[in-house]
Structure 1
Amino acid sequence: MEQHETFPNVFEALLLVGVLIIIQMVVGAAVIESDLLGDVNFGDLAGVVTVMGNGVLFVGLMAYKQIGYRTLFHPARTSAISTMSVVTVPILLLVPGLMIFAGTINSIVIWLFPMSPDEQAMFAEMMAPGFIPVLFACVAAPLLEEMLFRGVILRSFLRQYSRTKAILCSSLVFGIAHLNVYQLASAFAIGIVAGWLYERCRSLWPCILLHAAYNAFVTASYIRAVEGEIINSTSYTAIAFVAAIAAGLFLLRVLHGAAQRADATITKRD
């Protein structure tokens, strides 16, 4: 039986993000001090520390809330397989258009707040090709972040606030957690889509798929750009947006009223 069902609220969620950052700093300092990963570059080390920090936080959260992973990942009454069989293709069709939209937002933010050389170097290192960075960006980060921001935070918000407020607030916390203005806007947009999927499906798996596919698409596009293979034609953009609109309309139709058929332990207020 889940305990502390309304933990966290918005203020507590922000505190959780702060605690996560502190845990990652402590873990990072311990790893560096012990020289356990002395041969690993900074970008790979950051990914490892993030995974370890999230693991420490989740051990505490799961014990405090007394919630099992089955309940965390898929509290819906319908099976995960049946849910994913409906949403997988449209979610994948959403991603290119969502990436273009988020990229446009980021371009405006960068124009308003130009990056310093250090910030440019930091993002270049984050996007550098390699097994560990790609594994972290496309597998570990989507899994861990969705567990926290949709599985714990949005799950609690839906019990306390209206559906719209819960999704928007959890998305804002998700954006703030990235700790830079350049990812805040795009993370907020992705958080809204992922939050809506969670509220409709009562499952983390569609959110994880969306997040992983988005990160994979961004990573692949960056690598192609570095290699001089930039896809930025008008026809590609038009096709991406048409596919995203069609997929969005399909999801709106098939998931209409889905939340009312989901697990009653997560109460939605209209």
Structure 2
Amino acid sequence: MTQQKQFYPNIWASLFIIALYTFIQAAIELPIALYDLNHKTAYLNNPLISYPIFIGSTLFILYYGYKNSGFSFKEVFPFKMFPIWILLPFVLMDVSLQYFMNDVNLWVNSILPVPDWFNQLFARIFERAPSQWMGVAKVVVIGPIIEELIFRGIVMNGFLRNYSKTKAILISAILFGFFHMNPWQLLPASILGVVLGMLRAQTGSIWAAIAGHSIHNGLVYLSIVYYKELSSISILTKSAQNNIIHTFVICLMLLTIIFATRKNNQLSWFKRPTQ
């Protein structure tokens, strides 16, 4: 029996890409951070230093993954048009997903409380930006674009060729969750990764995943800013009835996305594609 050809990247190659990306940034930033700590400076917070590190390491890893794939730019990063209207059911679904993600976070926090130093570290995402709006742009625009180019671009290009669609979506979602290097965000990020993977696989467009990711991060930001106002909305309060409602909304919207984009579905869900 001849072994079927493996396309780049497979699971192990994807792990290497993620590790390499993290190592490059850490290797450059760590000496600067140590210098800042010993000399009470703030060079790492300077955009003229931090931005080139971030942009340079990102461009390198994207180029590295693209060149090793052996596929064309359009195949690795399919910037295709997609039915924009499917973002409406995605928004409704994402609101319900965040409802459950909040419950997941509360459950994880009850087992492993988030330390204060970790919250302070997360807050530095905004502090290291020249302004609050730049911090928001990094979370809502820049972050989704880069993460989707890596996971729903480079990684899923190989996964959809090596594995069934179901396996490609699930494994890439788990890798996406671990990429955030946050045990309190692992499950919610993986759940989001499944939905974004479905958008990418069903529409054949990385734009759909980028748009969905950006919408999700934007809604998370708004939910934090307007937490008191949103907590007073009855449909969002905790109850068994609302759990049923949100579950129904998630299932309905997932089916809507699947069937609305079925014409673009070139790969079976459970069988490995033949090349």
State if a TM-score over 0.5 links the two structures: yes
2:137 to 135, 138, 143: 135
- Distance in 1 (alpha carbons) for counterparts of 2:42 and 2:223: 30
- Distance in 2 (alpha carbons) for counterparts of 1:170 and 1:196: 11
Q: Report the CA distance between 1:68 and its aligned residue.
A: 4.5
**Which residue of the partner structure matches residue 108 of structure 2?**
109
**Which residue of the partner structure matches residue 255 of structure 2?**
249
Task: Kindly provide the amino acid, as one letter, of the partner of residue 113 in structure 2.
Answer: P
Task: Kindly provide the amino acid, as one letter, of the partner of residue 74 in structure 1.
Answer: P
CA deviation profile, 1:225-258 (whole Å, cap 9, x unmatched):
3xx4443533246576665444333223212353
The two structures have a TM-score, normalised by structure 1, of 0.79
**Which residue of the partner structure matches residue 25 of structure 1?**
26
Q: Given that residues 127 and 219 in structure 1 are in contact (C-alpha distance below 8 angstroms), is that contact kept between their aligned partners in structure 2?
A: no
**Which residue of the partner structure matches residue 164 of structure 2?**
162
Q: Given that residues 33 and 44 in structure 2 are in contact (C-alpha distance below 8 angstroms), is that contact kept between their aligned partners in structure 1?
A: no
Q: Report the CA distance between 1:38 and its aligned residue.
A: 4.8
**Which residue of the partner structure matches residue 151 of structure 2?**
149
Q: Which protein, 1 or 2, shows the higher relative CO under an 8 Å CA cutoff with sep ≥ 6?
A: 1
**Which residue of the partner structure matches residue 98 of structure 2?**
99
- Distance in 1 (alpha carbons) for counterparts of 2:120 and 2:33: 21
Task: Kindly provide the amino acid, as one letter, of the partner of residue 183 in structure 1.
Answer: Q
Q: Report the CA distance between 1:127 and its aligned residue.
A: 6.4
The two structures have a TM-score, normalised by structure 2, of 0.78
Unmatched segments (≥5 aa) in structure 2: none
Question: Cα distance 1:64–1:220, how it changes in 2: closer, same or farther (>3 A)?
Answer: same
- Distance in 2 (alpha carbons) for counterparts of 1:253 and 1:34: 55
Q: Given that residues 47 and 133 in structure 1 are in contact (C-alpha distance below 8 angstroms), is that contact kept between their aligned partners in structure 2?
A: no
Greater mean deviation of Cα atoms: 62-71 or 13-22: 62-71
Question: Cα distance 1:131–1:213, how it changes in 2: closer, same or farther (>3 A)?
Answer: same
- Distance in 1 (alpha carbons) for counterparts of 2:60 and 2:35: 18
**Which residue of the partner structure matches residue 273 of structure 2?**
268
Equivalent runs, 1:76-225 vs 2, <5 Å = 80-81=80-81, 83-126=82-125, 130-225=132-227
Question: Cα distance 1:192–1:232, how it changes in 2: closer, same or farther (>3 A)?
Answer: farther
Task: Kindly provide the amino acid, as one letter, of the partner of residue 209 in structure 2.
Answer: C
**Which residue of the partner structure matches residue 265 of structure 2?**
259
- Distance in 1 (alpha carbons) for counterparts of 2:250 and 2:52: 33
Question: Cα distance 1:50–1:221, how it changes in 2: closer, same or farther (>3 A)?
Answer: farther
Q: Secondary structure at the match of 2:231?
A: coil
Equivalent runs, 1:48-87 vs 2, <5 Å = 49-74=53-78, 80-81=80-81, 83-87=82-86
Unmatched segments (≥5 aa) in structure 1: none
Q: Report the CA distance between 1:117 and its aligned residue.
A: 1.7
Q: Given that residues 140 and 215 in structure 2 are in contact (C-alpha distance below 8 angstroms), is that contact kept between their aligned partners in structure 1?
A: yes
Task: Kindly provide the amino acid, as one letter, of the partner of residue 115 in structure 2.
Answer: S
State the percentage of identical aligned residues.
Answer: 23
Task: Kindly provide the amino acid, as one letter, of the partner of residue 247 in structure 1.
Answer: M
Q: Given that residues 20 and 53 in structure 1 are in contact (C-alpha distance below 8 angstroms), is that contact kept between their aligned partners in structure 2?
A: yes
Q: Secondary structure at the match of 2:7?
A: coil
Q: Report the CA distance between 1:27 and its aligned residue.
A: 3.6
**Which residue of the partner structure matches residue 234 of structure 1?**
234
- Distance in 2 (alpha carbons) for counterparts of 1:116 and 1:32: 21
Q: How many residues align?
A: 254
